[in-house]
Every structure is written in structure tokens, then in C-alpha cells.
């Protein structure tokens, strides 16, 4: 099958089977003249980094309801955006989201640049995101390669070089297939193919529009591709997390430094995270050990935090952080790690 015929076959399949997503302009709407909103495309692509479509849908809807355009987002308070992002993880994305929105609003008049190179200059936009926004929002013939596309290419061309070593090779193969006609729809079609047909396990080769000419399928080992290098075991770091409530109901919270994990997010005071952490409470108190431990996994390590709780008087002065009145405290504004600590501490107190 020629490359042009393969692209045409995939687009025909996409026209009939495209997934519905709140940020996507589907094939029927495109034929009727609708165009993707670059703000929606960019926002969804940032949210989808390291995150599933299912997890992103509600966050996306909430963001565009509260901030309908990039200028609205640019004018938002940092803490408000970070709170709305809580639970999505990889919080550097939220900080860069605001930086990017403010640059687009002030330097580009509220309009996103429409080329790969110009998009790359914006905070939080790497090669993949630049290609995705240029292709989907502006119909540029850019090659968009995510994990789904890598899997499809490895199987289609029977590539046995393991990932991540194979990334360059798979991108070159994907580039050969990228058409100049409807490149935005094509980019979404390949990703949909990987997400719904050419899945990691039990691919539905019998209904795949590219089943004819798939070298991996012909060789009988499509399901074992792409090959991957063995993962290095993640180290474990330990620490302490301190939940302090005043006797008037206020909670002691702190905003984490902009740089580093959970940067800019609201959370409980914590100690260092290391193999041998030292207790570092945020104020003098009658600290209790409820026997609870928070477990959380980051990209490069597993974290285990021992929970400490205390109730203090209204005269208590913390060494760091600030007390937030009970009516102003929303656990939903906390990142997942900190919500886990709150839930564990609440369960431990209720059980005593």
C-alpha cells in the first residue's frame, strides 16, 4: 500500500470512528466549516501530557468554563489556577500554562502563533506539543508522535529497536506517512488508532484500516511491539507530613516553592524527602503519631510520608506556612499527595 493510500484509508476510518472529545472538532463539523480553537487544542495537549483522556475531560471542561479564552486565563490569579489544576499532577505544567497564556495575551494579542518553530518558543511547549498544536489547530503538515503513534509505527513497520532508543526511527517513519491533505485530522486519526484499535494488549487487527501491509502483523508478533528497555527500579524516599489544626478550625498550610515537585501548590508542611529524613515540624506542639503513612509515586521515585497531627491554640505562631480559616479551606485545592495525607489523618482521628 502506497503512503498516500494508507493515509487516505486512515482518514476514511477516522471520519467514521473518531472519538468525541470536548476539545475536538470532529470530522463532520470540520466538513461543515468549523475550525478547532487553538486555545482548546493547546490547553488539552498540555493537560494530556502524562495524563489519560478520561482524567482530563472534566478538568478541561472546568477550565474553559471558568476561563473561556487564553486572555481570561492570563488574567487569573496563580493560586486559583493551581487550585483548579490540583489532582492532575505534574504541576510544572500548570505554572508553564500560566506563563504561556500571559505571553500569548501580551505579546501575541491573544492569538497563538501558528507555526511549529514559533510555538516552540513558548513556555511549556516542547516538540510534540508544538507539532500537535500546529497540526490540529492550524492544519500544518507536522509529524505528531505520542506513545500511541510510536506503537502503531513499530508494528506497522516491524521495528524491533527498543524504546526509548527507537524514538528517532519511529518519528522518521511517521513523517513519511504524514499527508499534506487534512494533516490535523490525520494526526488525531493515528492517535485514535493506537488508543482504540492498535492497543498495547489484544490489538484488534481484524478491523484495523492498516491491517493489510502491516509488517508486524504479517510476522506474527505485532502484540509484542514496541520493544522496550528494562525499567530501572525506582528508589524510595521517606519523610514526614504535618497536619496542624487550630482549635478554631483553621489549618496550617504552605505554598511550596515554584521550583521542584508540586511547585507552587498549596500543601501541608513537610520535612525533607530522603533515605534518612529528620523530623522538621513547622511549630512546637504536642505532636501525635496516628500510625498512618502516605504512599505516592512520582516519575522517578516512590515516596512514603509518616503523618503527624496536632491541635494548637489560636495564639500558636508557625515557623513556616500560614493558617487558613476553616471556611476558606477546600481539600479539593490540594494536590493528590496532600489530599491523601488529609484523608489518612481524618480517618485516624475519627478512629480514635
Catalytic positions are 45
Exposed/middle/buried for residue 309 (C-beta within 10 Å: 0-12, 13-18, 19+): buried
Q: Which residues pair with 244 in a beta bridge?
A: 310
* Cβ count within 10 A of residue 102: 17
* Cβ count within 10 A of residue 84: 18
Beta strand segments in the chain, E: 236-246, 251-255, 266-267, 293-297, 302-312, 322-324
Q: Tell me the Cα Rg of the chain.
A: 24
Check residue 222 and report its DSSP letter: G
Nearest partner of 134 among 178, 193, 68, judged by Cα: 178
Rounded Cα gap, residues 173 and 181, in angstroms: 18
Pull the grid cell for residue 174: 511517521
Pull the grid cell for residue 350: 475519627
Using DSSP, state whether 246 is helix, strand or coil: strand
CA angle, 196 then 197 then 201, to 5°: 95
Nearest partner of 41 among 18, 64, 13, judged by Cα: 64
- How far is residue 60 from each of residues 84, 306, 324, measured CA to CA in Å? 10, 33, 28
In this structure, are residues 140 and 183 in contact, taking their beta carbons and an 8 Å threshold? yes
Rounded Cα gap, residues 42 and 128, in angstroms: 11
Using DSSP, state whether 163 is helix, strand or coil: strand
Amino acid at each position: 500500500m502506497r503512503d498516500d493510500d494508507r493515509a487516505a484509508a486512515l482518514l476514511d476510518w477516522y471520519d467514521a470512528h473518531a472519538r468525541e472529545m470536548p476539545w475536538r472538532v470532529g470530522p463532520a463539523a470540520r466538513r461543515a466549516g468549523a475550525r478547532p480553537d487553538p486555545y482548546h487544542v493547546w490547553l488539552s495537549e498540555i493537560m494530556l501530557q502524562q495524563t489519560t483522556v478520561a482524567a482530563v475531560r472534566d478538568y478541561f471542561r472546568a477550565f474553559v468554563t471558568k476561563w473561556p479564552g487564553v486572555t481570561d486565563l492570563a488574567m487569573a490569579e496563580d493560586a486559583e489556577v493551581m487550585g483548579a489544576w490540583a489532582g492532575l499532577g505534574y504541576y510544572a505544567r500548570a505554572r508553564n500554562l500560566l506563563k504561556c497564556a500571559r505571553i500569548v495575551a501580551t505579546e501575541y494579542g491573544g492569538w497563538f502563533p501558528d507555526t511549529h518553530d514559533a510555538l516552540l518558543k513558548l513556555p511549556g511547549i516542547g516538540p510534540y506539543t508544538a507539532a500537535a498544536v500546529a497540526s490540529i489547530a492550524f492544519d500544518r503538515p507536522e509529524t505528531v508522535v505520542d506513545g500511541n503513534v510510536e506503537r502503531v509505527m513499530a508494528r506497522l513497520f516491524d521495528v524491533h529497536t527498543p524504546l526509548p532508543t527507537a524514538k528517532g526511527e519511529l518519528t522518521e517513519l511517521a513523517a513519511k506517512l504524514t499527508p499534506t491533505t487534512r494533516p490535523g485530522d490525520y494526526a488525531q486519526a493515528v492517535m485514535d488508532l493506537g488508543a482504540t484499535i492498535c492497543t498495547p494488549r489484544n490489538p484488534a487487527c481484524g478491523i484495523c484500516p492498516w491491517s493489510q501491509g502491516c509488517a508486524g502483523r504479517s510476522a506474527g508478533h505485532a502484540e509484542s511491539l514496541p520493544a522496550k528497555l528494562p525499567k530501572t527500579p525506582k528508589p524510595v524516599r521517606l519523610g514526614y507530613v504535618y497536619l496542624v489544626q487550630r482549635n478554631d478550625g483553621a489549618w496550617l498550610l504552605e505554598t511550596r516553592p515554584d521550583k521542584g515537585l508540586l511547585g507552587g501548590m498549596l500543601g501541608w508542611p513537610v520535612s525533607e524527602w530522603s533515605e534518612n529524613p529528620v523530623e522538621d515540624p513547622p511549630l512546637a506542639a504536642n505532636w501525635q503519631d496516628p500510625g498512618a503513612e502516605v504512599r505516592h509515586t512520582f516519575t522517578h521515585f516512590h515516596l512514603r510520608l509518616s503523618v503527624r497531627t496536632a491541635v494548637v491554640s489560636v495564639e500558636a505562631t508557625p515557623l513556616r506556612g500560614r493558617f487558613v480559616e476553616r471556611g476558606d479551606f477546600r481539600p479539593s485545592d490540594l494536590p493528590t499527595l496532600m489530599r491523601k495525607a488529609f484523608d489518612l489523618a481524618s480517618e485516624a482521628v475519627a478512629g480514635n
